[in-house]
Amino acid sequence: MLLLVGTMLILLAAGVPVAFAIGLATAVTFVAGPLAVSPMVQAQMTLSGADSFILLAVPFFIFAGELMNAGGITRRLIAFAEAVVGAIRGGLAYVVVIVNMIMAGVSGAAIADAAAVGSVMVPSMVRSGYRRGFAGAVNAAAATIGPVVPPSVGFIIYASLSGQSVGKLFLAGAIPGVIMGLYMMAVCFIVARRNELPRGEPTSVRKIAYGTRHALWAIAMPVIILGGILGGIVTATEAGVIAVLYGLFVGIVVYREIRLPDLPYLLAKSAKQTALIMFIIASAKAFGWLLTYMEAPAMLMTAFGSISDQAWVFLLVMNVVIIFLGCFMEGGSLMIILTPLLLPVLAAYQIDLIHFGVVFQLNIMIGLLTPPIGMLLYVITGVSGVEMGEILRDLWPFLVAIVLVLLLITYIPAITLFLPNLLAGSAGG
């Protein structure tokens, strides 16, 4: 096992892409390690890793997010939110949170949401008199809501690895996602009062009606997707197809901001993102099989058992470990590597896998906001030009809010399990 994990860490430290690092470490262990199995097992496991019906939903939601951004849906959601809350003190900060909560109901990808909203809202906030660091911080933090609120690409990946229902995971993330948004708006409220953040232009019923009318098609998109999933009308994959068809219709026919010649570019961009995700998942399948073959879960169980036999202690340790690893590893890769390893341990501690999936996902979101990896920080810096140091100085209240939500859902499982248990019959995969 030392050869397997050590080779992977060395390759990652050398800057080798995650999928190649996992695949090469697995191949080296098969060839040079003391294993009584054929290296052909790696090829078989790699092929089976990508052969999953659940994963069909991934490219559809990624493409739907691209259509949402290219078709003018994001911009109209921002205008709608500004008409509703933009006039209050610190209103543009609330706009960022609200728009990210709405967009979360379609894309389920934090990086895409951060780039789409941040590229518009950070410059707008700076022009309106907000500190550059705060503008970057609220945009980065609000983007973490996307992969927690259904539909979530992260939950689809976790479901494929753990054998759990995608529908139940989507349901489990709904309430925590709303709580995240409320906590972030509470932070915005406190910061707005303490720092006397600017107010926007006065609003009116006419202005709100105008914004609503022009954003109606955009607002309906997440309502249709979430309604279909949470109501048990469609599966995750079917919802992804509907999201794509709706995005095409609105972008081409209604808003007319997507032209047919634009589609090859959008398809290629979505295909590239999908290929990256699928390559990592496929490579990690053989990696996880090797860990199981070498009895790594049993060793891990012994190690945790020596610390405590209490589930709450295990969850606390896992939160700390995942957040720490998330500072140095990309979140999706971390989930793909750790999930197969942790499944027997979770069973031994009698921890619900649906509940842990949400806890895991929220830990990963914290990792997206923490250097040196902190992908959301790099995205916001890239699209806005705000220095990372400026963002970090204003980010800590939002990090505290997300950690509080993490502790809340970690130790009150009913928050995540209420909807899955209530609608258990309709939450399909």
Question: Which burial class, exposed, middle or buried, applies to 206 when counting CB atoms under 10 A from its CB (0-12, 13-18, 19+)?
Answer: exposed
- Euclidean distance between CA atoms 99 and 218, whole angstroms: 11
Per-residue model confidence as pLDDT tens digits over 51-83? 767 777 788 888 888 888 788 888 888 888 888
The position carrying tokens 């959301």 is 376
For residue 429, pLDDT beyond 60: no
Give the HSE-up count for residue 325: Cα atoms under 13 Å, Cβ half-sphere.
Answer: 19
d(C-alpha 361, C-alpha 372), whole Å: 19
Q: pTM above 0.85?
A: no
Over residues 240-290, the pLDDT tens digits come to: 889 899 999 999 999 999 999 999 999 998 888 788 778 877 777 777 777
